[in-house]
A = this chain, B = another copy of it.
Amino acid sequence: MNTKEKIIETALRLYNQEGIRTVTTRQIAQEMGISAGNLHYHFKHTEDIIFTVFEQLRHDYDEMMVLFQKKDVIFQDLLLEFTWGSYQLINKYKFIFVNFVEICAWIPAIGDSYRNLVSQREEQFVSLFGHYSKLGMFRQDIPIAILKGFVRQIFIISDFWSSSFSVLGGRFESDAFEDYKRTVEVAFYPYLI
């Protein structure tokens, strides 16, 4: 692993542990045993570090969404896979989710990239629900406007569950996944048959 990769890895770990507000580039460098000057040789600005981490997240996210290709599976099973997969990302990139608003205000390119991602996901979800409606596993009597609103709701939950969990004082080490899973399940509960 080269220095550049090691910086990203260390930054991600420290940001997740200590929070984005308290970790400095000096601290990241010290933790790795390199000089601050060297760190800034590889990443001129702190933003560049965070943006690179975000690109990793996007990449991992796209990989996870491949799940949605195989549609010959019970909806409940697919949902569980999605829940687990998205939780893995939320956990791996904790600090991005938890500080998402702050990061987007700070680094506009991340906000742009996110909005792009969201519009993709929207379509995927709506078409998935349509597919499972035909298979009789998803309610068919839902107006399209509500369905789109429901998709939006799922995004709010999956993107900001961690924020809520965090301000409620939850610790990621213990029962975080259980809490997330229940939240997602409850959201889907009235829509499944």
Which residues does A use to contact B, with CB under 8 Å? Answer: 19, 21, 98-102, 104-106, 111, 114-115, 118, 146, 149-150, 152-153, 155-157, 159-161, 163-164, 166-169, 182-183, 185-187, 189-191
Contacts and interface: CB of A to CB of B under 8 A. Distances in A.
A169 B102 contact: no
B167 A111 contact: yes
B163 A105 contact: no
A170 to B, nearest CB: 10
Task: Please classify the interface of chain A as helix (H, G, I), strand (E, B), loop, or mixed, using the class held by over half of its residues.
Answer: helix
A99 B100 contact: no
A113 to B, nearest CB: 11
A106 B22 CA distance: 10
B160 A164 contact: yes
